[in-house]
Structure 1
């Protein structure tokens, strides 16, 4: 019996090997993009060691701004120039409107039902419309402004309690990582969902999902590795999914039973659609989109705040200039508010420069071509995965002056950055929550600058190396010295 099992396993392996080799053989085309030498079966996967965005940046410096790779059986196109990005998301925007179906989307987008990975079509259009109306429209963002103020004030209050007696050593990411999560959770389900059981555990799940999704999964590109669950990733994702599914199902049930307020939450809005089309707006569709919102909006904003504070500590003159702007506009008789942000342009310059140097999605979200097309004169086959290396474009000396330096002032002189500054993506599938993200990050930074004095722990500069994870977190969490400003203690005591 064991011999039969061994024979069948060998036969399956041989058939899969032949299929992979057949699929990985590129069709003859007239003009293919330049490409590094590849290996049989795995293609260029052996080159992906360390941070993917940096590896691809290095390869593109050798092979050009439009570069072809092959990850197992999947063709990959890597873009590192603004002109090519423009062509992708204008001329080829509909052709590139799909997402590749990856293992992480199978679980956390509920078999690709969430806005982030759902195929381009009616469900994507309908969900996007609901999100734009119920979450991200100017009117709705104004409705939720108290949520954002309350969460920022809570962090300010906690910092004041710890740092009111003088400079105190504080670790930042643990204080700010819950800020965007709490805001989005309230926007999605209302204030009462913050009291749900399992919120803390669910936050841990979100963090683990980002870490698990940050690595290249060979099973997404080599079918045999998927069948044998290479490195046990699918087993790990399934375990995380079970935890998150229980929480999300509970959230939907709570929202279904809560007395409706004057303004619909996102869950209430999509539940009302479920009543009219229950087979279309299933619970999985709702849970997939809640998960997509929390994944896209939480870690990205907190990581950006941590990078910004790290850069400000390394550039105290920039910090002083930002504080002078806040003091001049708001004074010291009230706390800065979100409505002040349009009058604090230098704060926005700091946010933009942080996103330029450390975009939370360094390779954006992958796209996939639904049919053959041409980009930059090169032939691109249907089913090709498009990776736009925003990290490389943002640091390209041909595009930016002194690109590796932190200079917020560069954004004072710029108008529309267009396709050279793309932290939120471009085209019809760009991030719909960019305005919310800018408000959350801007308000948090302005509040930290107004209420506290900040110094590095020692004379050494804050380390700016990237760590592991989908959103490019810091390798070493930021630790800083913090002290409440004397001019602000009368307001901070009242919190």
Structure 2
């Protein structure tokens, strides 16, 4: 395997530590991991090898290669690499990091269940807009200052997006000031701002050892608290059912109900099932993390972009006013008539591109990438951050320019914030609906004002796995005053 992998160009590895020191140097030299990877791409081409310690990993930095591998040969390139930090809680379970039949079965169940609860239908729009209205009404009670809602941006979107996904999963919204939610978000932020390549590639036994305790306390250990809350929520539901305080309707009220119904049916049918309370805990943990953090982070980045580009807001309002007549909310049915809003959302997702380093996959059979032989067992990834900053497709990639998607109708297909192929995000339709409805209606109904200095289009975590937005306060000023 190693001999074949070395055929793909890349920086020469050092014994044991591989390319970690060089990757760190490139990241330091270029102001972050994305800049460092881009320099490596320029030197070694659109497909290159990086050794993460003793592990050789192949990285795709070209859309056409990504499409050919992940779409045309999806079966070969659809297996998740789930070692190290990815397996810290999951241990081979869940929807994000599991593999084989278990992954297929649980992903299919999650998709089917979420669709039953409105994903992709009008009922989901109603749920999103109900929560959007509730959040503004609620924050007006606690954060009303000088004729505006003045709030930390990520806090506002965390409660809004978190409650949308939480109601789908467990029929509960988070009320402002909820101590468990505040602690959860504190731990999650701590983890995502510090999680590094070391935490991804170090063996799980090493991460859990006393030797690495200093590290896991600030990176992976906070996930224990989040997972504990998930398990506690499930246990409460089971207890209320046993006490006759909660009755599961014919289709269930939420994801947990549907999962418990599946468990009961499999037991009655004598099926040797992977659906049990432990796997429910991991599935719920995966769905909540994915449904909460990605969209909330993107919306926080969106406000950074818009605060720095007020002309974009003006163009969006002109278009939305024409479509709605200024007397109704924007709806998902308006998408075909709002090209500038669509382009702005695309550009926000491209700029945000919230993973500095994409999740890895592993090959189960010998194959080729861009004509070069790769052996079974090789790990690889399509680096979305490199595709979204590719000068060949996105001229002046650091600049926020929604117009680029209007000038080139084919550009949108090369924007893949939800991933590509079999492992793309299963919550894509929900996230797209949230971004469209929340941003569209927010711009129509409120002026955006920074509190103090405008936040910069710059991440505070350039070398972490996740590209976090800056922390800043914002004023949402009602336009109908």
Alignment TM-score, normalising by the size of structure 2: 0.85
Q: Structure 1, residues 408-456: CA drift from partner, whole Å, max 9, x if none?
A: 1222344454762111111111111111111112222122211212244
Kept after mapping to 2: 8 A contact 1:73/1:221? no
Residue 127 of structure 1 aligns with which residue? 106
Task: Give the match for residue 40 of structure 2.
Answer: 59
In structure 1, the partner of 2:69 is 88
- Answer yes or no: is the 8 Å Cα contact 2:84–2:203 preserved in 1: no
Unmatched runs of 5 consecutive residues or more in structure 1? 1-25, 490-495
Post-superposition offset of 1:210: 2.8
Distance change >3 Å, CA 298–CA 226, structure 1 → 2: same
Partner Cα distance (1:454, 1:238) in 2? 36
Q: Partner residue of 1:202?
A: 184
1:150 and 2:130 equivalent? yes
> For 2:381, what is the secondary structure of its paired residue?
strand
Instruction: Provide the C-alpha distance between the structure 2 equivalents of 1:247 and 1:138, rounded to a whole number of angstroms.
Output: 23
Q: Which runs of no fewer than 5 residues in structure 2 stay unpaired?
A: 268-272
Give the count of matched residue pairs.
Answer: 458
Aligned with residue 452 of structure 1, among 429, 443, 446: 446
The separation in 2 between residues aligned to 1:324 and 1:415, in whole angstroms, is: 21
Q: Decide whether the 8 Å contact of 1:77 with 1:384 is kept in 2.
A: yes
Alpha carbons 2:85, 2:204 under 8 Å: kept: no
Assess, with a 3 A threshold, how the Cα gap between structure 1 residues 164 and 211 changes in structure 2: closer, same or farther: closer
Alpha-carbon distance between aligned partners in 2 of 1:179 and 1:193, rounded to the nearest angstrom: 8
Tell me which of 339, 346, 350 is aligned to 2:340. 346
Partner of 1:97: 78
2:23 and 2:281 map into 1 onto residues whose CA distance is 33
Counting only pairs closer than 5 Å after superposition, residues 350-361 of structure 1 correspond to structure 2 as 350-361=344-355
**Structure 1 residues 340, 471: CA separation in 2 closer, same or farther (over 3 Å shift)?**
farther
Q: Paired residue for 1:305? A: 299
Aligned to 1:432: 426
Note closer, same or farther for the CA distance 1:447–1:159 as it changes in structure 2 (3 Å cut): farther
Residues of 1 paired with 2:326 and 2:179: CA distance? 39
Deviation per residue, 1:303-349 (Å, 9 max, x gap): 11111111112111111011122222224434444554454332221
Aligned to 2:8: 33
User: Given the superposition, is the C-alpha separation of residues 365 and 242 from structure 1 closer, same or farther in structure 2, using an over 3 Å criterion?
Assistant: closer
1:48 CA displacement:
2.9
List aligned pairs for 1:71-470, cutoff 5 A. 71-109=52-90, 111-119=91-99, 121-136=100-115, 139-142=118-121, 143-158=123-138, 160=140, 162=143, 165-166=146-147, 170-191=151-172, 198-214=180-196, 216-217=198-199, 220=202, 227=209, 229-230=211-212, 232-234=214-216, 239-256=221-238, 257=241, 258-261=246-249, 263-264=251-252, 265-277=254-266, 279-415=273-409, 417=411, 420-457=414-451, 462-468=455-461, 469-470=464-465
**For the Cα contact (< 8 Å) 1:185–1:194, is it kept in 2?**
no
**Helix, strand or coil for the counterpart of 2:261?**
helix
Q: From the superposition, tell whether residues 223 and 419 of structure 1 become closer, same or farther in structure 2 (CA, over 3 Å).
A: farther
Q: So what's the TM-score if we normalise by structure 1?
A: 0.83
Task: Go from structure 1 to structure 2 and tell me whether the alpha carbon gap of 1:101 and 1:74 turns closer, same or farther (over 3 Å shift).
Answer: same
For 1:203 and 1:30, the matched residues in 2 are separated by 40
Distance 1:452 1:179, change over 3 A: same
Query: Residues 149 and 337 of structure 1 are in contact (CA less than 8 Å); yes or no, is this contact kept in structure 2?
Result: no
Q: Deviations over 1:41-86 (max 9, x none)?
A: 1110112325333321221111111001111121111111112112
After TM superposition, give the deviation of residue 138 of structure 1 in Å: 9.1
Contact 1:42 1:222 in 2 (8 A): no
Task: Report the alpha carbon displacement of residue 350 of structure 1 after superposing the two structures with TM.
Answer: 0.9
1:439-495 CA deviation, whole Å, 9 max, x = no partner? 11222212221121224456x764111222543112x3233454221xx24xxxxxx
Q: Are the aligned partners of 1:156 and 1:448 in contact in 2 as well (CA < 8 Å)?
A: no
Of stretches 57-66 and 361-370 in structure 1, the one that deviates more from structure 2 is: 361-370
Residue by residue, what CA displacement relative to the aligned partner does 1:359-389 show, whole Å, maximum 9, x if unpaired? 1234332211122211012122322221222
Is this contact kept in 1: 2:5–2:374, CA < 8 A?
Answer: no
Moved more, 29-38 or 365-374: 29-38
**Alpha-carbon distance change, 249 to 35 in structure 1, aligned in 2, over 3 angstroms:** same
